[in-house]
Structure 1
Amino acid sequence: MRLVSLLMIKSMTGYGIASTDFANTKYTVEIKSLNSKFLELALKLPKAFSDKELILRNDCSKQIERGKVNITVTVEYASNEKKAATIDQGLLTLYYNQLKQAATTLNDNGNNLLQLALTFPEVIKYEEDLVSEQEWIQLQQTFAEAMNNFQTFRKDEGRVLLQDLELRIKNILNALKQVEEQDPKRIPAIRERISQLLEEFVGKENTDSNRFEQELIFYIDKLDITEEKIRLRSHCDYFIEALKSNDANGKKLGFISQEIGREINTMGSKANDAQIQQIVVGMKEELEKAKEQLLNVL
């Protein structure tokens, strides 16, 4: 089974198009989307299907969830007969006679009465404004096919995002291993540095060794990053777990990434070690790349 079928992570960027032919008519549905915090839906429909807009919008809101989405529905007729307008002869005659009578009463020359009568309501009707049930069913099928292609595109993009996000978090975990290797060397180095400073400025004979040990323990305790290392590893593991779970989504992953960033920042500020701080900078770079990708995760 392919990875994409196991995961729910999808990209907000998507594209899907479908076309079908029915009764000398071509139906085309095109769907495009970009990232957005909410669902911003722009739906362009032929006038004949305008009464179906609410149905299509409700369907989109359930399936698309989030994103800036543009949907265009077009209907092309093989012949002009479907597009041709029809004239209501009886209504036209009625309007024309009334206008003619009014012109006579007002002593008007009555020029262009026919042209004026043609502009009156309901005189000209367009058959394309009337949609049969079969045509609506055909459009729905085309719409469903376009939506399926759109969702497939989103899943394929999501698979690429997943691979990149997983790489970024694993890079952070690898950097954490380097911190764990460096951390045991840090405390003896700090102890040695403080001892040298005391001997230089105070003198070894003037130093209370017991008091020095007490102050050193208190100072080193403030520099301890054990909890940060544990929490960082836990957050990274949870991120990867959530990334591959069925309910993974961009907002949830975004919250976890904030917790990862908090532990990295605290570790960097408490480390008091140039090498660890350099490693932390690399962690921050990887996290920023991950956050950029998360902006496009559904």
Structure 2
Amino acid sequence: MALKSMTGFGEGAATVSGIRVAVELSSVNRKQLDININLPRNLITLDAQVQRSIRAEFSRGRVSGIIRVDSPDGSDGSVIVDAKLAEQYVEGIRNAAAQLELQDDLSAETIARLPGVVSVEQNESVADLAADALDAALAKALKGLAKMRSTEGRALEKDLRERVALLESSVKEIRKLAPTVVSGYREKLFQRLEEAGLDDLASDERIVKEVALFADRCDISEELTRLKSHMEQARKLLRSAEPVGRTLDFLCQELFREINTVGSKANEVEITRQVVAFKTELERIREQVQNIE
């Protein structure tokens, strides 16, 4: 099964008894699952249900959405005007204005803005029908979003496999060069001592001990073994049916730690060049991994 990206878009619409609900969902990278859905007033009680549906489908990413409802008459409720309350407001404000000798400039617009004068009564039957339409529309949008994330995931998987192969190639070259580090150091050490006028160096225990200590310090066999193991695990994860973004991100950190140790221990020009190439490719992998669910 291919990897899944955290980037995608999906939309869906459904109509029940003339009530049309349209859903648009989009997702981007995020370490955790973060859901932000803009619901209309008459469907606000369904927010928990919408969140459950999204959480059942995805485990990471910031999922944003807009839900629109269109009723047959273009409204989703009735406007209620409390005339008695408005009358009380007018009487009280005018009495205060007279006492303070202020101009009486009350207008219908001003009164309508006063708390409690105008309210919207939601149409329960419309809300029920919209809820049914929402289920169908949301299912379509989730399917479309999941499909796009899977398509993007397949592209990421292909790219990552190619980049892991480049890492393996660098490690292969480093493994070939590793045995030459000690022999090269030994030759350079003997050469410098001979240039200094010292003879019969091969039998000198101090020289033999120095070469042995250097061989121990620059031994990178364990790091190379762990690098190989990490890359094999990465390839297995690329075939996993489960979300693996976090695990791959951790492996990238471990790979960087091991290759950094290789570079510091094996002080050799060509190995250093391979280490730099490995780090460069690993950074590109790490950036791509941030897109994986």
User: Into which bin does the TM-score normalised by the smaller protein fall?
Assistant: 0.7 to 0.9
Task: State which drifts further: 164-173 or 36-45.
Answer: 36-45
**Does residue 85 of structure 1 match 2:60?**
no
1:46 and 2:75 correspond: no
2:54 is matched with which residue?
Answer: 60
Q: Name the structure 2 match of 1:223.
A: 218
- Identify the match of residue 292 of structure 1 among 276, 282, 287: 287
SS in 2 for 1:10: coil
2:6 is aligned to 12
Structure 2 letter corresponding to 1:225: I
Q: CA deviation at 1:155?
A: 1.1
Q: 1:222 to 1:119 in 2, by over 3 A?
A: closer
Query: Percent identity among equivalent residues?
Result: 28
- The answer for the alignment partner of 1:23 in structure 2 is 17
Query: Closer, same or farther in 2 for the Cα pair 1:161/1:202, shift >3 Å?
Result: same
Question: What does the per-residue CA deviation read over 1:84-111, in whole Å, with 9 as the maximum and x for residues that have no partner?
Answer: 73668xx75x779989999xxxxx99x9
In 2, Cα distance between equivalents of 1:132 and 1:84: 9
Aligned to 2:236: 241
Per-residue CA deviation, residues 174-214 of structure 1 (Å, 9 max, x unaligned), is 11111122223333222111110111124114775333223
Q: How far, CA to CA, are the matches of 1:58 and 1:246 in structure 2?
A: 21
Judge conservation of contact 1:239–1:257 (CA < 8 Å) in 2.
no
Query: Is residue 154 of structure 2 the alignment partner of residue 159 of structure 1?
Result: yes
Asked if 2 retains the 8 angstrom alpha-carbon contact of 1:16 and 1:31, the reply is yes
Match among 43, 50, 65 for residue 71 of structure 1: 65
Aligned mates of 1:258, 1:100 — CA distance in 2: 70
- Equivalent of 1:193 in 188, 193, 200: 188
Q: Which residue of 1 aligns with 2:247?
A: 252
Deviates more, 1:254-263 or 1:182-191: 182-191
**C-alpha distance in 1, partners of 2:45/2:255?**
49
Tell me how far apart the structure 2 counterparts of residues 218 and 206 of structure 1 sit (CA, whole Å): 16
Deviation at 1:295, TM superposition (A): 1.3
Matches for 1:122-161 after TM superposition, within 5 Å: 125-126=120-121, 128=123, 130-161=125-156
Residue 240 of structure 2: SS of its match in structure 1? coil
Shift of 1:131: 3.2
Q: Is the 8 A contact 2:16 2:129 kept in 1?
A: no
Are 2:43 and 1:32 equivalent residues in the alignment?
A: no
Matches of 1:79 and 1:98, distance apart in 2: 33
Cα separation, partners in 2 of 1:267 and 1:123, compared to 1, 3 Å: closer
Question: Distance in 2 between the 1:95 and 1:63 partners?
Answer: 49
Q: Distance in 1 between matches of 2:113 and 2:286?
A: 62
Write the deviation string for residues 126-156 of structure 1: whole angstroms up to 9, x where unpaired.
4556535333111111011101111111111
Equivalent residue letter for 2:21? Y
Alpha-carbon contact 1:11-1:297 (below 8 Å) kept:
yes
Task: Tell me the distance in 2 between the aligned counterparts of 1:263 and 1:97.
Answer: 79
TM normalised by structure 1 equals 0.82
Query: Structure 1 residues 215 and 139 mapped into 2: Cα distance closer, same or farther (>3 Å)?
Result: same
TM-score (norm 2): 0.83
Q: How far apart are the structure 2 equivalents of 1:57 and 1:28?
A: 16
Change (3 A) 1:193 1:144: same
Superposition RMSD in Å:
3.3
Tell me whether 66-75 or 210-219 shows the greater mean CA deviation.
Answer: 210-219
**How far apart in 1 are the matches of 2:114 and 2:125?**
20
Distance of aligned partners of 1:274 and 1:47 in 2 relative to their CA distance in 1, 3 Å threshold: same
